[in-house]
């Protein structure tokens, strides 16, 4: 499974760094929602779902965390530890987030509003859904 990473251009100068995120430019969709996960307790693993339509870009704007990606055929693990890197998670990818550093802020941009009916939260249902929708 190819891991889809975006390297954001850093607008750095002698004062420090700045990154701008723009829909349909360096973010490959219309940005309908932004949320962030922070203050994650040590040892917590979260996510455990796939989406039917929602696509997202995950950016570890502070600290680090790891992401498990699973397309039903193969699994990949990736560490996000840089505010200038974005991980694209398309629909039909089971994902879990873990090993959050205490200072981790995981910022997520999504192409749709929050919609619980877009989630598949059971792994067996995920495998059945992707085999039906091939």
Contact flag: residue 46 with ligand TYD (CB under 6 A): yes
List the one residue from 49, 66, 84, 91 that touches ligand TYD (CB under 6 A): 49
Residue 49 is a catalytic residue = yes
Contact 89, 55 (CB under 8 A): yes
Instruction: Give the C-alpha separation, 118 to 33, whole Å.
Output: 14
Contact flag: residue 4 with ligand TYD (CB under 6 A): no
Residues forming beta bridges with residue 86, ordered by sequence position: 6, 59
Nearer residue to ligand TYD within complex by CB, 11 or 75: 75
List the one residue from 17, 35, 76, 125 that touches ligand TYD (CB under 6 A): 35
Which residues are known catalytic residues? 49
């Amino acid at each position: 499974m190819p891991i889809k990473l975006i390297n954001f251009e850093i607008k750095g100068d002698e004062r420090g760094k700045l990154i701008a995120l723009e829909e349909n430019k360096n973010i490959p969709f219309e940005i309908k929602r932004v949320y962030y996960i922070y203050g994650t307790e040590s040892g917590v693993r979260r996510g455990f779902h796939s989406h039917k339509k929602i696509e997202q870009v995950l950016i570890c704007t502070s600290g680090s965390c790891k992401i498990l990606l699973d397309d039903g055929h193969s699994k990949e693990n990736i560490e996000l530890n840089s505010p200038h890197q974005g991980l694209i998670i398309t629909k039909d990818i089971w994902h879990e987030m873990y090993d959050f550093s205490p200072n981790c802020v995981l910022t997520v941009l999504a192409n749709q509003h929050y919609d619980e009916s877009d989630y598949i939260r059971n792994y067996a249902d995920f495998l059945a859904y992707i085999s039906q929708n091939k």
